[in-house]
Amino acid sequence: MSSLSGIRVLELAGLAPGPFAGLMLADYGASVLRIDRVNPPSTPSPDVLVRGKSSIKVDLKSLGGRRFFLRLIREVDVLIDPFRPGVLEKLGLGPEEVLMKANPRLIVARLTGFRRDGKYATMAGHDINYLAVSGVLSMLGPTGTSGEHALRRPLPPSPPGNILSDFAGGGHMCVTGILLALMYRHRTGKGQVVEANMVDGVSYLATAPRKSQKIPGQWDRPRGENLIDGGCPYYNVYECKDQGNYMSVAALEPQFFTALCKGLHLGNHHWGGDREDRKTWPRMKTVLEETFRSKTRKEWERIFDGTDACCLPVLTHDELERDGYELRSAVRLSSSPAADPGSDGWQIKTLERGEGGVTLLHSWLGWREDHEYKLENGGAVVGSSAKL
């Protein structure tokens, strides 16, 4: 039995963080039903975070659709709300005013980009915007002002895709809140509203770096000039002889640095001083760049594999898939295992609107189409035999 077996989740259709939260819950045993719009809005990309989910179409703007949704709400444990502030309220489906009155055990997980009470609450945004106003984006990326061949001018911060805000600070933090609420409900029998937002989520993830900015020698210098943000030459990435291939270096501790130097056949005399002296860093970085460009990545792998030099190849997903890399769940539990992604983790799969929902409703509640509910203009509404 998985950890969340028996937990029923409704996921209002969205993109990125909301579906990721639903995916995590499904992977650990929850039964997830995505509520799709009858006429969906245009989106920049399809939802591919659909493993283990089913779908049903509901028009929440119609009276019949809302009645069906409220009937369903009575029977589930978690609702994932990815909408901007006020959307559910405008539909007459306010969490505390309506939904939790229908089901006091319900956990309503509301996931937004910005804080609900902040100056940006009503504005649209994406991952880079949430990173920006959280203070985290200002810490990411090179400056262009270090090294012997520096540009002598700062470069803009670099966004790391949409991994940090959408998925780590958003979807993952939302799941953390849901699990905490489930634990509280187990003790009290009461549901609650979980409010997660990507600004606070990613800011929380940056707790240690933020505090380290006030510790000398940690993160107290401008972006790109610190120990682990690209400023330090022995914590960096270097291109190899075969262009476009790289090795990562993280030889922070003295014993690891010694192992690195041994593999590179280098020593302090090559950069003119001890590694702790930041004045040696520009020359050291140049030496390391030139040295790594003298061999291919495969050659460096043969040198450093099995050592404690903290020097490893920068692999691409294409390489990992080609080599049969085994994708696994985020954490492994000895008694309540998750569903491992397996080969599904490499494949693009989508969930058609309405796919699997009829089967899941029968499995959950014994509901049958044209009895407890019916489809009207493509969306589910309460049927003639439903007990309201």
Q: What is the pLDDT of residues 315-357, one digit of tens each?
A: 999 999 999 988 888 899 989 988 888 767 788 899 999 999 9
Q: Which amino acid is at 291?
A: T
CA distances from 118 to 110, 115, 164, 193 (A): 16, 5, 20, 18
The end-to-end CA distance of the chain, in Å, is 33
Please report where in the chains the tokens 């401008």 appear, as a residue: 222
> 36 an active-site residue?
no
Specify the DSSP element, H or E, that contains 9.
strand 8-12
Please report where in the chains the tokens 């397996």 appear, as a residue: 342
pLDDT tens per residue, range 125-173? 999 999 999 999 999 987 765 555 555 567 889 888 899 999 999 999 9
What's the Rg (C-alpha) of the chain? 26
Instruction: Return the structure tokens found at 101.
Output: 């009155």
CA distances from 284 to 78, 147, 192, 231, 276 (A): 54, 9, 55, 11, 11
Question: What pTM was computed for the model?
Answer: 0.92
Q: Domains in the chain, please, with CATH? A: 8-205+329-382 (3.40.50.10540), 235-314 (3.30.1540.10)
Bridge partners (DSSP) listed for residue 197: 112
pLDDT of residue 148: 52
Instruction: Return the structure tokens found at 18.
Output: 């909301």
Instruction: Return the structure tokens found at 158.
Output: 């670099």
Instruction: Return the structure tokens found at 82.
Output: 């990815």
Q: Which long-range contacts (CB under 8 A, 24 or more apart) does 159-164 make?
A: 159/127, 159/128, 159/131, 161/127, 162/16, 162/126, 162/127, 162/128, 164/127, 164/131, 164/136, 164/202, 164/205
Alpha-carbon distance of 4 to 78, in angstroms, equals 11
Q: How far is C-alpha 280 from the geometric centre of its chain's CA atoms? A: 38
Task: Give the 3-state secondary structure percentages of the chain, helix then strand then coil, rounded to 5.
Answer: 35, 15, 50
Alpha-carbon distance of 372 to 358, in angstroms, equals 11
- Pairing status of strand 235-239 against strand 373-376: unpaired
Check if the beta carbon of residue 75 is closer than 8 Å to that of residue 365.
Answer: yes
pLDDT of residue 388: 45
**Catalytic pick among 166, 229, 305, 323:** 166
Q: What is the DSSP letter of 170?
A: I
Alpha-carbon distance of 388 to 386, in angstroms, equals 6
Which residues of the chain, if any, have pLDDT below 50?
Answer: 388
pLDDT of residue 1: 85
